[in-house]
Chain A
Amino acid sequence: MSDNGLASHANGSPGIGRDSAAGHAVLVVGAGIAGMQSALLLAEAGHQVYLLDSAPGIGGSMHLLDRTFPTDSCGICLMLPGRAAYCPTIECDLHENIEILPYSEVEGVSGQPGCFTVTVRHKPRYVGIEACTNCGLCAQVCPVERPHEYEGESAKQRAIYQPPIRSIPSTYVIDMDYCTLCGECAEVCPVAAVDLKMAETETLFEVGAVVVSPGYEPVDAGIKGEYGFGHYDNVLSSIQFERMISLSGSTGGRIVRPSDGDPPRRIAFIQCVGSRDPSIDRGYCSSVCCMLTAKQVQLAKKLDPDLDVTVFFMDIRAHGKDFDDYFDRVEATPGVSYQRAMVSSIHEYKQTGNLLLNFVQEDGSVREEDFQMVVLSVGFEPARRFRALGRSLDIELNRYGFGQTPTFRPGESSRPGIFLGGAFREPKDIPETVVEASAVAAAAASARPEPWRRGPECPSIGRESQTGSEVGELPEEKDTTPACEAKPAYEAELDWPRVGVFLCDCRGEIGSVVDLPELSRHAQGFRDAAVVQIMDNACLLSGRRQIAERVAAAELNRIVIAGCPAREYQSAFDAMMREAGLNPALLGRVNLRGEIAWVHQGNGRDATAKAKELVQMAVADIRLAEPVHVENRQISRGVLIIGGGLAGMTAALALANMGHDVDLLERSNDLGGQLRELRYVPTGEDPVAFATSLIDAVESHRRIHVYRQAEITDVTGYVGDYRTTVAQTGEGSQVLSHGAIIVATGGHEVMPTEYLYGKDARVVTQRGLDRMLDQGEDIASDVVMIQCVGSREPERPYCSRVCCTKAVTNALRIKERNPGARVFVLYREMRTYGFREDYYREAREQGVIFLRYEPPDKPSVVQRDGELSIHLREPITGEDLELRADLLVLSTGVDPNEVDGLADLLGLPLDKNGFFQEEYPKMRPLDFTRLGIFMCGLAHSPRFSDETIMQAQGAAMRAAALLKQRTLQAPVPPVMVNERVCAACGQCVEICPFEARVLEAGSPTAEVIEVLCQGCGACIVACPNKATRRQGATVPSVYRVLDAVTQQV
């Protein structure tokens, strides 16, 4: 698996696994946002996945955040491949292709790509997952405390503690570093779940590929002793502050001073704590803290509008899509001030707990100010355990301890078959993490055309399922019946309802609160309740068999199971229904456990009364339920990719290697796009050789068909069945059919219109300088570079992301070529994020001079006596500077290619800058609302080539996960139309967010495109004639449910 599949995949033959048996799953190491995303995409595409995390439960830093920039919302469920999805932790737990390995470490990897043997150590949690009911009695008696990781280290929890509640499993665990083995917990535990003698175990796993995304750790704010973190109560880390403003945090969203519980009036934020700081060996920029602080300021101001906030910073790095907009809004908020200054020390007033900040301003003057609270914006660092992990995996780490990957194979580690993604590779924000996680999934998946699956010949050795806080056993063979089976010959459901009510005790969880015998007696009286039965464990195979037997014996045609929530064991119960000859839509579920037993403890009488009503509501509902027969639509597995540049070609290769046929459209006569212009990357790889091999691989791949000089003239259809009319110069046009489309239309360097560009040959762009350096031309000794030319200006308000790094690395190349050269960089904000910061620092060390300017006072360029003269007003002193230049280099931004017509044909939105507008910037950065269309590369926003490659592979994986099967069906029971009452008014068409409702001209009724329907039900409410209803459920059934509630009033 070298060269991103470039080397050996010309004929589509597999790289990894070519000669290995088809008996290996994928191991994903790290189950945070990245790991969960990789695992879910792989699982969706049919691969089997082990999802390992060193923490007691999965979820990673997802648990820290409940609102994220730039949307100030959560929306984490939207990162999942399908829209019908819960929180990612739940989805990972539910997915039949994912096995969670919590609280485990990788000890070693042997073998070859396609056939690794991984040794995994399972740490003892000293609490039995199966037995523990999370009652919390143990933590009440535990006499020792440990730092609370999630609330920031100053908060404490007991040595026996519960992981964050959304993690899975969230069962209690004992931290043996603090436990005194006093045994109190074991004594008090009512279910004998505590086992202080639990030993660690080891398991060997056979896997085909390994995806490594263990994330990051926040830098310990105490590392900067001068800020007094850990000594002064009112100095918080940004992690602690994040939890404080979080509604799920310890203060429930109130901003208070830890010292006295009073709300502070003045807060200071200090940026770059543990970032951009070589003195503590963290010379890199952590990329996200600027925006994280902006978000925290924004949320804090919402919680307390009178708050006075000062942010001390070096540069504002808002280099992501639309981040500048967000930052500008925050900066303009009344009561918020941003100060470019270095805080040198903090002192605490003993009496008040207030803090005196000592800081150096840009002009060198020193000032002091008082604040009531200080937040240290801490950077990311690799966790200490990553060193050991690197050794276990035998992969290279970079000088800071992050995973090392090459520029043009950005997901690949130094060891073939092991792929790296997320913040482990470089600090990054959530959208980039989601993209990378998708990309490394693609890298692992495209190693061979067929999915990675466990085989009987290499079972995981000697272990039992640990995933469940549940009794999760799936011993029976996998259910292969499609959800849309042919209508059964015997439509039992058409008979008069005979409902079987099964009351599950859930191993005592429910029966200990609800009086089940009483409930059972009562339920006998419900209308059409033919059988009422109490069971121990309905979810177990034995329980499901029992229910199926009763169906046959008592001729039941509808079932209600009262126990756990509907999402648990859904597929198992669906299979049970089919086995019993019933349509799964005729099963009703009542959540007695979550809605009653666990929330009304010690209140048996009211709990039982409520249970009676809930069960009656469910019986009333299921009595009227109808079978659902979801349309199963044949789809094309082929993918259309628009644009033959780096993004398009990368996506094409990834998909082709996963077994998809790809049509690649290129507007010009040549593949390559902007990649052809790329001559140099600072990491030393050869972009020209890379471009050549990539183009070769694409052109010679048997699954990729390239259409040159091609234009799209028409697009019809929808996900699974897009029909695109493609016209080629001189070849006429043809209609192509695809299941999905990837938009990779690219962008280009902006041609400047100012600073004498085009009027004086000594004024060039960075690209022009590239060419000069590349051709070995002499570089003059006085070089001036101007940043943000045509970027972050009214006509192009966005940051182009790449130009700062480009300028810095070109300045270094000039210095290398001609050490005596004087290079000046005139900038507004240096945005050399991530490890690019190293180049910035090196440039300063090499003597490159950086001078800041501020927009009203842009530099001006004139020719004087045949010389180029650049004037600049220094923003601090107000002094006018004049620089002489032999060469003026303009750092211009990136423009998207003109795609207005194409966007119209595809029905896709463009943002105000002409880039394609993704569905949801944070969690669905590659997707559109229109299903089955994805995007990557400069069509999305400006980015580096490694980022483009990641995005392209990510888009490919999204498409692959969607097209995994040859058929597609609605994710939930779709709506249907009663044609007799439909008046074809079109209100449903207007309200549908997914274009699933259509009204053909002249048609007497509106229709439903089932595969597009997401089941939200908006059209049901909108329909004035009530002609629309959800399949299986009728509006009257809701009324009957309501009757069941109110009859008891």
Chain B
Amino acid sequence: MSDQACEAKPAAQLAAASPEPRFEPKIVAFLCNWCTYTGADLAGTSRIQYPPNVRIIRLMCSGSVDPTYVLKPLLDGADGVLIGGCHPGDCHYQSGNYKARRRTIALKEILRSAGIDETRVWLRWISASEGQRFADTVTEMTEFLREKGPNPMRTEWAV
């Protein structure tokens, strides 16, 4: 955790304190630079609106998503992790998306055995031209996680 707290109260907490208690999940998204991030940017260029629950981290390739990148936010209380890569056959680096797929399958196995809800991790193929698909994915995942409720790690692992 960053040791420098912010003066302003984060919006999420404000929201939690306010009368309408709708739960707003927080999603960490690891997007590959070439396909999914470009698709996410296209959603912007096309002014396609989607919920502000996602925090994008741009990586060169979905194949460079280390399992710990997924584990850490889940343990720290993020509600979901989205990994976005190129469609099969489209990987800029030939096979990075396949690596991501293999790792994600293995990681979900591990999450399950550790008692962490593996459905909080999504892997999606979104191309550079699929701005709508990116927005739809974020919308769908946000609704899914709203339904599911907060990551229990938020309370169980509270320091």
Contacts and interface: CB of A to CB of B under 8 A. Distances in A.
A1043 B1 contact: yes
B149 interface: no
A1030 B48 CA distance: 33
B145 interface: no
B44 A598 contact: yes
A190 to B, nearest CB: 14
B26 A1045 contact: yes
13 contacts: A66-B129, A522-B6, A526-B4, A565-B41, A617-B55, A993-B94, A1016-B63, A1017-B63, A1021-B65, A1042-B69, A1045-B78, A1046-B77, A1048-B12
B26 A1046 contact: yes
Contacts of B124: none
Nearest to A77: B34
Interface string A354-385: 00000000000000000000000000000000
Interface of B: 1-4, 6-8, 10-13, 26, 28, 34, 38, 40-50, 52, 55-61, 63-69, 72-73, 76-78, 87-90, 92-96, 99, 103, 127-133, 135, 151, 154
Given A595-B56, A1016-B64, A1049-B154, A608 B11 contact: yes
B52 A74 contact: no
A1016 B47 contact: no
A1017 B64 contact: yes
Chain A to chain B: the 7 pairs with minimum beta-carbon distance, closest first: A1017-B64, A609-B11, A594-B44, A1016-B93, A73-B89, A1046-B76, A527-B4
Contacts of A66: 127, 129-130
Contact of A525 (B8, B69, B73): B8
Contacts, number: 200
Interface stretch (A335-343, A497-505, A1032-1040): A1032-1040
B44 A136 contact: no
Given A248-B129, A1042-B57, A1042-B78, 10 more contacts: A165-B42, A247-B130, A518-B8, A566-B58, A591-B56, A593-B44, A1018-B99, A1045-B26, A1045-B78, A1048-B12
A179 B53 CA distance: 41
A72 B89 CA distance: 8
A1007 interface: no
Contacts of B55: 610, 613-614, 617, 1045
B76 A527 contact: no
Contact of B76 (A521, A599, A1049): A1049
Given A248-B129, A525-B4, A610 B89 contact: no
Contacts of B93: 83, 993-994, 1014, 1016, 1018
A819 interface: no
Contacts of A591: 41, 44, 56
Contacts of B7: 522, 525
Interface string A573-617: 000000000000000000101111111110101111110111011
B6 A1020 contact: no
Nearest to A596: B52
A1020 B67 CA distance: 12
Interface in A122-173: 134-136, 165-166, 170
A1043 B76 contact: yes
B29 to A, nearest CB: 10
A1044 B72 CA distance: 12
A617 B64 contact: no
Contacts of A682: none
A71 B55 CA distance: 33
A1020 B69 CA distance: 12
A334 interface: no
A313 interface: no
Contact of A929 (B6, B58, B94, B151): B94
A753 interface: no
A1041 B38 contact: no
Interface of A: 66, 71-75, 77-78, 83, 86-87, 90, 134-136, 165-166, 170, 247-248, 252, 518, 521-522, 525-527, 565-566, 591, 593-601, 603, 605-610, 612-614, 616-617, 620, 929, 972, 991, 993-994, 1014-1018, 1020-1021, 1035, 1038-1049
Give the most central of B46, B103, B135: most A CB within 10 Å: B46
Contacts of B77: 1046, 1049
Given A165-B46, A609-B12, A1045 B41 contact: no
B47 A601 contact: yes
Contacts of B72: 1039, 1042
A466 to B, nearest CB: 19
A601 B1 contact: no
Given A66-B129, A1021-B64, A1047-B2, A598 B38 contact: no
Contacts of A1044: 2
B128 to A, nearest CB: 6
A459 B1 CA distance: 57
B128 A525 contact: no
Nearest to A589: B58
A348 B69 CA distance: 58
Nearest to B71: A1042
B52 to A, nearest CB: 4
A87 B92 contact: no
B104 to A, nearest CB: 12
Contacts of A994: 93
B76 A1020 contact: no
Contacts of A606: 11, 52
Nearest to B37: A565
B154 A1017 contact: no
Contacts of A609: 10-12, 52
Contact of A1049 (B12, B46, B95): B12
A437 B77 CA distance: 52
Given A72-B89, A74-B127, A598-B44, A1042 B49 contact: no
B38 A525 contact: no
A521 B48 CA distance: 29
Given A77-B92, A565-B41, A1016-B64, A599 B129 contact: no
Nearest to A611: B52
Given A87-B128, A525-B6, A1042-B76, A1018 B44 contact: no
A1015 B7 CA distance: 38
B47 A136 contact: yes
Contacts of A71: 89
A521 B64 contact: no
Nearest to A929: B94
B68 to A, nearest CB: 8
Nearest to B32: A1016
B106 to A, nearest CB: 12
B57 A166 contact: no
B100 to A, nearest CB: 9
B127 to A, nearest CB: 6
B88 A73 contact: yes
Given A248-B130, A1021-B65, A1049-B12, A1041 B4 contact: no
B60 A599 contact: no
Contacts of A252: 132
Given A73-B87, A248-B132, A1016 B96 contact: yes
A71 B87 CA distance: 11
B76 A170 contact: no
Given A74-B127, A1045-B78, A594 B40 contact: yes
Give the most central of B52, B77, B99: most A CB within 10 Å: B52
Nearest to A975: B64
B38 A87 contact: yes
Contact of A1048 (B10, B66, B68, B130): B10
Contact of B45 (A165, A608, A617): A165
B130 A598 contact: no
A694 B42 CA distance: 49
Contacts of A1040: 2
A397 to B, nearest CB: 34
Contact of A1016 (B2, B41, B60, B154): B60
A600 B45 contact: no
Contacts of A1020: 64, 66
